[in-house]
Amino acid sequence: MLIKIFTIAVLIAIVASLLSGMIFMVRDKGKSTRTVKALTMRIALSVSLFGLLMLAIATGHLKPHGIYPANHPVNSQARIAK
């Protein structure tokens, strides 16, 4: 449960960084490096979140699932075709 809360917090931080980059871009009109720093932070957060999710899946804290559950008719037809 803690990993899910942390993931949501990082996603919110990514959106906040993106919005701050947009605000800096409009206000500064290219005269400062605040936009570049905000967008660099967004990229760093995104890469970190991706790594965290991969680590959480590898350690079993998160369990990925497919589009269809195991008892869905599409999966049943695929099993019959094999």
* Amino acid 14: pLDDT: 95
* Amino acid 1: pLDDT: 80
Which residues of the chain carry a pLDDT beneath 70?
67-82
Contact 52, 10 (CB under 8 A): yes
* Amino acid 80: pLDDT: 54
What is the domain partition of the chain in residue ranges?
Answer: 2-81
* Amino acid 67: pLDDT: 67
* Amino acid 49: pLDDT: 95
* Amino acid 69: pLDDT: 62
In the chain, beta strands by DSSP E: none
Residues 10-34 as b or e (16 or more Cβ within 10 Å = b)? beebbeebbebbeebbeeeeeeeee
| Whole-structure pTM value | 0.72
Tokens 């991706």: give the residue: 50
